[in-house]
């Protein structure tokens, strides 16, 4: 199911020059982000899901300080919670499947 943002919300994020900003849904698909966020996280330009990038991409493991403890474990806990809250969400199951397919993430 595609999520549409009101133009005003997209403009608000896009015009926020001083700090990085993005909007994502409960599946962690990024709907919009500003230029500053794209500078810090250039992978957003590829249209990637936040969880998929953070938990499966090797570059995330070097960019995110204390990746396993501070990022991976809390994010996996969020995935588990959302899997329970949204059991019929096919896209969320797809994200979880991608994460589970990664050996490092699966071990956690």
How many domains are there within the chain?
1
* pTM for this entry: 0.82
1 in any annotated domain: no
Q: Is residue 99 part of a domain?
A: yes
Q: Domain range spanning residue 31?
A: 7-107
pLDDT tens figures, 81-103: 999 999 999 999 999 999 999 99
Residue 17 lies in a domain: yes
pLDDT for 62-81, tens place per residue?
989 999 999 999 999 999 99
Token match 């956690």: residue?
A: 108
Are the CB atoms for 78 and 54 separated by under 8 Å?
A: no
75 within domain boundaries: yes
Determine whether 32 is exposed, middle or buried from the number of CB atoms within 10 Å of its CB (0-12, 13-18, 19+).
Answer: middle
């Amino acid at each position: 199911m595609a999520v549409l943002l009101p133009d005003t919300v997209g403009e608000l994020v896009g015009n926020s020059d001083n700090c990085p900003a993005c909007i994502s849904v409960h599946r962690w698909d990024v709907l919009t982000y500003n230029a500053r966020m794209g500078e810090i996280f250039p992978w957003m330009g590829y249209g990637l899901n936040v969880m998929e990038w953070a938990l499966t991409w090797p570059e995330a493991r070097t960019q995110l300080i204390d990746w396993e403890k501070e990022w991976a474990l809390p994010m996996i806990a969020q995935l588990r919670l959302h899997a329970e809250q949204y059991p019929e969400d096919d896209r969320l199951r797809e994200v979880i499947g991608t994460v589970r397919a990664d050996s490092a993430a699966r071990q956690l």
